[in-house]
């Protein structure tokens, strides 16, 4: 099929040029506020939306209505899923379930198999956990394994980062993929299935393979006191490996079953199995079920009902900033749509003869480099390229969402909080962090978009 989105009727107008200038101006304001003035991204997106609306000629009341509408819709559709995912990840970490997964997969691993096991481990841990949470969970075992086996730190450290980063950027229920799916109206099950398929070779290339290469050239030594601090007081009474793995994978399995049901019963929407799996595989019920199961499985390890309540309550606080950013991104997207920017972008894309997949990736790359935030990159880019989905079929809309995710991971550097987190935990200099972490992120982004384009030729 043709990748070119169908442009609205009519040629390019002066008003279209004004709208494109408004988009560039709004993004410049957002980038300047976040990257140079260190303004909280939520505030930057609010102000950027106002600049966009006024520059596009929208009345003040309309700008306000559009922003509030987009903010509310995004919070309702995506915000609750982020909160549920955080609850699941917090119970997994505090109960010792994540440690059980780590120890089981990392035990009895030889020098050759160790990077591959760590990559698999990070991918599993990264399914329900945000990148930062997963890194905090994995860092103690990475440092401990490297010390005990006398293995170069980056030989196991890069595969762990790759597994966490790829899952964070490409696979729901992480914020970026959810925002892209919601903005583009992509099929979640199909996006999840394709994302998992693309994630496997991407993790392999950016993780174990690149880890073997860079570990010979960069050999950091993390601070000894950090190693001791992070590897002591590990939970002793932990849930079993089987139950932990079942709980972690439950929402993913339910969402995949929904996609399978939609394919099997494509001609019969009223078939009972399809209706049941469509309900259970919706992200909200799937994650809710997983959280309830986690309360039963991990509850005794957490210390009873009171501790479960505290753990769940504490899980939401760390993601409050993400929730606000995602919500504001929804408001920004709606101002784009209501201001008529979508039609102008569709015309520009059609005239450029660029694949929407490449265009989406480039937009996300630009915002990622400027702001340092993968979430902000996906949120902003999703609103900009949403009109391009109109001319695509269901699988290619899913690929458009994945192209955004790939672009949002490009070359993390000094304006990204993750950059400094990795630098401090691994005890690297800024130069070493760029040569290892930043290059690894770029490999993920490039390999990911190449695989997305290949998938587009096949599907």
Tens-digit pLDDT profile for residues 210-244: 999 999 999 998 767 666 655 555 566 788 888 88
CA distance linking residue 276 with residue 423, whole number of Å: 46
Q: How confident is the model at residue 423 (pLDDT cuts 50, 70, 90)?
A: confident
Q: Summarize pLDDT for 121-174 with one digit per residue, the tens.
A: 888 878 766 787 677 667 767 877 787 778 899 999 999 999 999 998 998 877
Q: Summarize pLDDT for 39-53 with one digit per residue, the tens.
A: 888 898 899 999 999
Domain ranges of the chain: 14-458
CA distance linking residue 196 with residue 393, whole number of Å: 20
Q: Summarize pLDDT for 176-200 with one digit per residue, the tens.
A: 888 899 889 998 889 999 999 999 9
pLDDT for the residue numbered 229: 55
pLDDT for the residue numbered 2: 34
Residue 373 has pLDDT above 80, yes or no: no
What percent of the chain is modeled with pLDDT above 90?
A: 31
């Amino acid at each position: 099929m043709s990748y070119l989105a169908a442009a609205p009727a009519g040629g390019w107008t002066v008003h279209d040029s004004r709208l494109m200038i408004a988009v560039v101006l709004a993004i410049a304001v957002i980038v300047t506020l976040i990257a140079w003035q260190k303004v909280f991204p939520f505030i930057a997106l609010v102000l950027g939306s106002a600049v966009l609306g006024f520059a596009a000629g929208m009345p003040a009341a309309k700008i306000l209505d559009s922003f509030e509408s987009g903010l509310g819709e995004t919070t309702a559709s995506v915000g609750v899923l982020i909160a549920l995912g955080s609850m699941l990840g917090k119970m997994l970490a505090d109960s010792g379930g994540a440690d059980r997964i780590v120890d089981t997969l990392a035990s009895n691993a030889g020098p050759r198999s160790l990077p591959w096991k760590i990559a698999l481990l990070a991918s599993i841990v990264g399914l329900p956990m945000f990148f930062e949470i997963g890194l905090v969970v994995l860092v103690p075992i990475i440092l401990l394994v490297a010390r005990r086996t006398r293995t170069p730190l980056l030989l196991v450290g890069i595969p762990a980062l790759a597994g966490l980063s790829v899952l964070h950027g490409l696979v729901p229920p992480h914020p970026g993929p959810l925002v892209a799916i919601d903005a583009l109206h992509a099929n979640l099950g199909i996006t999840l299935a394709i994302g998992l398929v693309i994630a496997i070779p991407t993790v392999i290339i950016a993780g174990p393979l690149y880890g073997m290469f860079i570990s010979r050239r960069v050999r950091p030594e993390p601070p000894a006191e950090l190693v001791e601090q992070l590897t002591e007081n590990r939970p002793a009474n932990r849930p079993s490996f089987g139950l932990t793995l079942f709980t972690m994978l439950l929402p993913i399995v339910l969402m995949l079953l929904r996609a399978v049901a939609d394919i099997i019963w494509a001609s019969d929407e009223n078939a009972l199995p399809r209706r049941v799996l469509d309900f259970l595989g919706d992200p909200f019920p799937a994650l809710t079920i997983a959280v309830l199961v986690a309360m039963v499985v991990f509850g005794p390890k957490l210390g009873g009902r009171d501790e479960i309540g505290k753990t769940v309550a504490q899980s939401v606080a760390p993601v409050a900033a993400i929730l606000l950013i995602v919500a504001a991104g929804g408001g920004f997207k709606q101002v784009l749509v209501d201001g008529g920017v979508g039609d102008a972008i569709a015309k520009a894309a059609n005239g450029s003869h660029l694949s929407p997949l490449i265009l989406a990736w480039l937009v996300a790359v630009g915002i990622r480099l400027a702001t340092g935030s993968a979430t902000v990159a996906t949120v902003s880019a999703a609103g900009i390229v949403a009109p391009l989905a109109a001319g695509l079929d269901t699988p290619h809309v899913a690929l458009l969402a994945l192209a955004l995710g790939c672009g949002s991971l490009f070359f993390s550097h000094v304006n990204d909080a993750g950059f400094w987190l990795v630098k401090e935990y691994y005890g690297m200099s800024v130069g070493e962090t760029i040569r290892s972490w930043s290059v690894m992120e770029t490999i993920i982004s490039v390999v990911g978009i190449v695989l997305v384009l290949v998938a587009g030729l096949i599907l």
